[in-house]
Amino acid sequence: MTDLVKISVDSGVMEIVWNRPDKKNALSNAMYRAATEALARAKDDAAIRVVILASEGDSFTSGNDLADFAAAAATGAPTSAGGFIEAIAQFPKPLVAAVSGLAVGVGTTMLLHCDLVFIARDAKLTTPFVNLALVPEAASSLLLPAHIGHRRAFAMFALGEPLTGEQAAELGIANAAMAASEVLSAAREAARKLTQRAPGAVMAAKKLMRDGEKIMTQLRTEGAIFGERLKSAEAMEAFTAFQQKRAPDFSKF
Ligand code: COA
């Protein structure tokens, strides 16, 4: 149990809320596990029709906790991110996201598995995997280029270039961009409407729209390479640089 993720259920809607604002909602192993368990519960409980992903504070999430990445690299123990990513990628019911502020790494790639996304105009989406000597995850190497094209996706992955919430909506990663103060109510209103639809039809439509097998194959291929990269000296330099609040130096590699 962790209080760094708030989970509540009301009128058929589960809300999973990142609640670690002092760390920009960096996702720790315990947070991933709590969210994964909540998704399993939501999947099995017929009374839960929709899940909303949202956040406290000024950031959606700054992505994986880099201290957990460094620990995984040092010990070889897997992080809990993989379980969460598989759970959202395979979640059969609608996932609705309310996004404001920073959405770094998995903060952006999890949106590619959401069915509705409401985003603040000034939100900042980044996927700086290569800056950390890592590779894209969560099937984003397949899904992001499919949404925004190879070149723009490569600039995000390899140069760390951001997208604003406004751009995300224009490019179809989000349904609508609005004031940050409005994203949660927009997500709740959409979720409320979804609870009134026939649940079997909603799930069947979602399943038809996604090539689940291809997504899982890509996700696992990425996961194997990501695990190798995590243990690399290049990645260790990136994590150490973050802890030491300096830019990484890859010149020796
Ligand atoms: N993992 C662990 N801690 C993180 C974190 C992360 N991903 N992101 C932010 N934090 C912590 C910072 O270390 C800092 O902690 P401190 O107050 O104890 O020093 C606190 O959250 C606030 O972050 P700070 O860097 O001071 O805020 P900022 O507004 O200047 O910058 C970010 C915010 C998100 C741009 C910056 O923190 C960052 O680049 N984080 C790493 C993002 C990342 O690479 N994620 C993984 C992607 S795969």
- CATH number of 10's domain: 3.90.226.10
The per-residue pLDDT for range 172-230, each reduced to its tens digit, is 999 999 999 999 999 999 999 999 999 999 999 999 999 999 999 999 999 999 999 99
In-domain check, residue 116: yes
79 in any annotated domain? yes
Residue 238 lies in a domain: no
Cβ of 222 less than 6 Å from ligand 1: no
Q: Is there a domain that residue 187 lies in?
A: no
Q: Is the CB of 65 under 6 A from ligand 1?
A: yes
251 located within any domain: no
Angstrom distance (rounded) from CA 178 to CA 9: 25
The pLDDT of residue 23 is above 80: yes
Q: Is the CB of residue 132 below 6 angstroms from any atom belonging to ligand 1?
A: yes
Express each pLDDT in 128-179 by its tens digit: 999 999 999 999 999 999 999 999 999 999 999 999 999 999 999 999 999 9
Counting ligand 1 atoms within 8 A of each CB, the residue from 20, 24, 79, 161 with the most, and so the one to mutate, is: 24
Tokens found for residue 174 = 């989000």
pLDDT at 133: 97
Is 1's pLDDT higher than 80? no
CB 108 within 8 A of CB 127: yes
- Reference 171, options 128, 223, 216, 112; nearest CA is 112
Residue with the nearest Cα to atom 30 of ligand 1? 24
Residue 46 has pLDDT above 90, yes or no: yes
- Contact (Cβ atoms closer than 8 angstroms) between residue 79 and residue 68: yes
pLDDT value at 12 more than 90: yes
- For the chain, the straight-line distance linking the first and the last C-alpha, in angstroms and rounded, comes to 41
Q: Among 149, 114, 110, 115, which residue's Cα sits nearest to residue 127?
A: 110
Examine the pLDDT at 65 and tell me if it is beyond 90: yes
Q: How far is CA 79 from the centre of its chain?
A: 15
Is 23 close to ligand 1, i.e. is its CB under 6 Å away?
Answer: yes
Tell how far the Cα of 67 is from the centroid of ligand 1, in angstroms. 10
22 within some domain = yes
The rounded distance, in Å, linking the Cα atoms of 80 and 145 is 26
Residue 76 confidence class, pLDDT cut points 50, 70, 90: confident
154 within some domain: yes
Let me know if residue 192 belongs to a domain: no
Q: What domain count does the chain have?
A: 1
Predicted local confidence at residue 21, as pLDDT: 98
- The answer to whether the CB of 229 is under 6 A from ligand 1 is no
Structural domain boundaries, residue 27: 5-180
For residue 132, give the ligand 1 atom closest to its CA: 44
